[in-house]
Chains A and B, each alone.
Chain A
């Protein structure tokens, strides 16, 4: 514990701590209970504050920023309603392991517990949805809590933390301050030693004839892409990724079999059925991927994870390595042997050939898959892509191939509609030189549509690709296939004129409806670095395939060509 000579207020100290940790940008929204902190922020030359239109926007922006940069994302809200507006984002960040610091104003300590104006027990409310949270009772405690919070958010399996900051504590003076070594830079924190036997672990892989690597979001958090590539190439093993793992292994690599799971490729899901060894690298056997204990029924299962609680949680495994993925792979690599996997690779190539991603592109309407492929070609696969939730999300996952980590931003665990637009904004602030595209639907965009103003205000070059089917498309797909076409409350009988709406915010916009307009549309959409919204009218009945029906497993995969089978 070191002391500064001069006593400063809690609010001032919070600003200084953020500055020292290297925080350059925060997303927030002021209010009475956080005003002393905002007053101090006013004087900061190092921290840029982005004023959002809704606190949910602030936290999703922080998430988009964190995911695309690997750094900590910071958001600020006032007490009560401001704080509760962060709930969805905190839950999202918890499920997807995103490092977020939320700072919330709180009523003064003497009013806590009295149902004071704009009081909410945000500490209590957020216990289950944060990795760590604390109510700062004295300015003297701030520095300690801050250090703890950042270390916890960034260290191990990352996650959201929340510091609840009463107004009087923001004004209280303190000289107590830890000598800070905190940094929000990626992978700054010490990682625990890898536990397990890397040699034995590698030997199971060596013995396999049909190995498959199954890569999850942990690979992104651990910056392990290079190691995964080295491992795949050395072992000559095909690689499939989860929705969260897209980009951790190049989607264009010959060993890539794309995404697995509910809407993964048929070849990835079939490879899971056929493999004799499956190596889970930083994934969690999520129920959208591994429905039952018979997941990968013919395979020896191995799992590397930084979170010991993930081992044998849903699916039992035969081999375990506990630790940071990057470190763990480095330890097993020396023991990995090449092996002749020619027939397995050939098998995979055949699966790819016989069960490709597929859609019907005849007719005059625009198919979202086609449009996405063109956007992919035009951006040379180098854009950062965020999505909302629904069919458009799955089409984007399938048809935009991600070669690099931290370029795919989607709400995987929680499936949060409203995530895409603010996440793209956060990503653009973190990566001003990159093309950032938000792929969204007419339902999702309306959940955080007010953040168009944030784009306009900062003159941010965010591109919005809006697929309009005048439906909650994914809901419609389920209703069509599993509820005998009873489209209960999934059709929009009113949608705004999105082009005019964008225009009102000063964002260039265009609508296209016919195939003949596609090229013009793509051209308009990507022509410069400025913001743009393109509304692509697509057929309501277009569906996402392949699909593993809810509650079923890999065996029950339905491909585009099997559509007839479903409608019996």
Chain B
């Protein structure tokens, strides 16, 4: 099962190695990792998506909390948090399918960053399922390059919200 961990860490050099090293050392695979500084320049926020049962995630949490630079670990339950990922996709178009491509982009709430004769460069953000979705829909056109940020997440203040 996929779990999303939101982790606050001290913004020091080496912290990233400490965190990712912990996963390597214990043989856990990271599906995605996204890091950015918070409003406090001394604190960074990491979102790590990993695959594992509750036991593994519990272990990871406990081990993470042992690192002196880790300030908080939150396991994001899907229902009570927003999860987003940004993707940049460049794909091929032809004269024939250009309008079909544009229709899809409109339907998906996609931002078009560049359009040439034979290609489109788009930006899309959504949850990971939506991102995977758009990738598969665009695949038949011929994808040239993809860059995904990895998922970030934040808990709703109002825990009833979805």
Quick check: which of B14-22, B29-37, B40-48, B137-145 contacts chain A, the rest being far away? B14-22
Task: Say yes or no: B62 contacts A128, CB within 8 Å.
Answer: no
Quick check: which of B63-71, B79-87, B95-103 contacts chain A, the rest being far away? B63-71
Q: How far is the CA of A124 from the CA of B20 in the complex (A)?
A: 12
Q: How far is the CA of A313 from the CA of B55 in the complex (A)?
A: 8
Is A134 part of the binding interface, using a Cβ–Cβ cutoff of 8 Å?
A: yes
Is B59 part of the binding interface, using a Cβ–Cβ cutoff of 8 Å?
A: yes
Interface of B is mostly: helix
Q: Chain A residues with Cβ under 8 A from B18's Cβ?
A: 127
Query: Residue of B at shortest CB range from A151?
Result: B68
Task: Say yes or no: A124 contacts B63, CB within 8 Å.
Answer: no
Q: How far is the CA of A152 from the CA of B25 in the complex (A)?
A: 21
Q: CB < 8 Å: which of A127, A135, A148, A309 contacts B66?
A: A309
Task: Say yes or no: B62 contacts A308, CB within 8 Å.
Answer: yes
Q: Chain B residues with Cβ under 8 A from A419's Cβ?
A: none
Task: Say yes or no: B17 contacts A313, CB within 8 Å.
Answer: no
Task: Say yes or no: B25 contacts A128, CB within 8 Å.
Answer: yes
Task: Say yes or no: A123 contacts B68, CB within 8 Å.
Answer: no
Interface size for A (C-beta < 8 A) is: 17
Q: How far is the CA of A152 from the CA of B18 in the complex (A)?
A: 15
How near does chain A come to B57, taking the closest CB pair, in angstroms? 13
Query: Residue of B at shortest CB range from A308?
Result: B62
Q: Chain B residues with Cβ under 8 A from A135's Cβ?
A: 13-14
Task: Say yes or no: B17 contacts A308, CB within 8 Å.
Answer: no
Task: Say yes or no: A134 contacts B59, CB within 8 Å.
Answer: no
Q: Chain B residues with Cβ under 8 A from A152's Cβ?
A: 68
How near does chain B come to A182, taking the closest CB pair, in angstroms? 16
Query: Residue of B at shortest CB range from A310?
Result: B62
Query: Residue of A at shortest CB range from B61?
Result: A309
Task: Say yes or no: B68 contacts A127, CB within 8 Å.
Answer: no
Is A132 part of the binding interface, using a Cβ–Cβ cutoff of 8 Å?
A: yes
Task: Say yes or no: B68 contacts A309, CB within 8 Å.
Answer: no
Is A403 part of the binding interface, using a Cβ–Cβ cutoff of 8 Å?
A: no
If A127-B17, A128-B25, A134-B14 touch, whether A148 touches B68 (CB-CB below 8 Å) is: yes
Query: Residue of B at shortest CB range from A149?
Result: B68
Is A542 part of the binding interface, using a Cβ–Cβ cutoff of 8 Å?
A: no
Q: How far is the CA of A313 from the CA of B14 in the complex (A)?
A: 27
Q: Chain B residues with Cβ under 8 A from A313's Cβ?
A: 59
Q: Chain A residues with Cβ under 8 A from B58's Cβ?
A: 312
Is A307 part of the binding interface, using a Cβ–Cβ cutoff of 8 Å?
A: yes
Q: How far is the CA of A131 from the CA of B24 in the complex (A)?
A: 16
Q: Chain B residues with Cβ under 8 A from A123's Cβ?
A: 14
Q: How far is the CA of A124 from the CA of B14 in the complex (A)?
A: 8
How near does chain A come to B103, taking the closest CB pair, in angstroms? 50
Q: How far is the CA of A314 from the CA of B63 in the complex (A)?
A: 14
How near does chain B come to A81, taking the closest CB pair, in angstroms? 22
Most buried by B among A123, A131, A309, A311: A309
Q: Chain A residues with Cβ under 8 A from B65's Cβ?
A: 308-309
Task: Say yes or no: A309 contacts B62, CB within 8 Å.
Answer: yes
Query: Residue of A at shortest CB range from B14?
Result: A123
Q: How far is the CA of A132 from the CA of B70 in the complex (A)?
A: 12
5 extra interchain contacts, Cβ-Cβ under 8 A, other than A128-B24, A135-B13, A148-B68? A127-B21, A128-B25, A131-B68, A309-B65, A312-B55
Interface residues of B (CB under 8 A from A): 13-14, 17-18, 21-22, 24-25, 55, 58-59, 62-63, 65-66, 68
Q: Can you name 12 A-B residue pairings with CB atoms under 8 Å?
A: A123-B14, A124-B17, A127-B14, A127-B18, A127-B21, A128-B24, A132-B68, A134-B14, A148-B68, A308-B65, A309-B62, A309-B63
What 7 pairs across the A-B complex have the smallest Cβ distances?
A: A309-B62, A127-B21, A128-B25, A309-B63, A132-B68, A128-B21, A308-B62
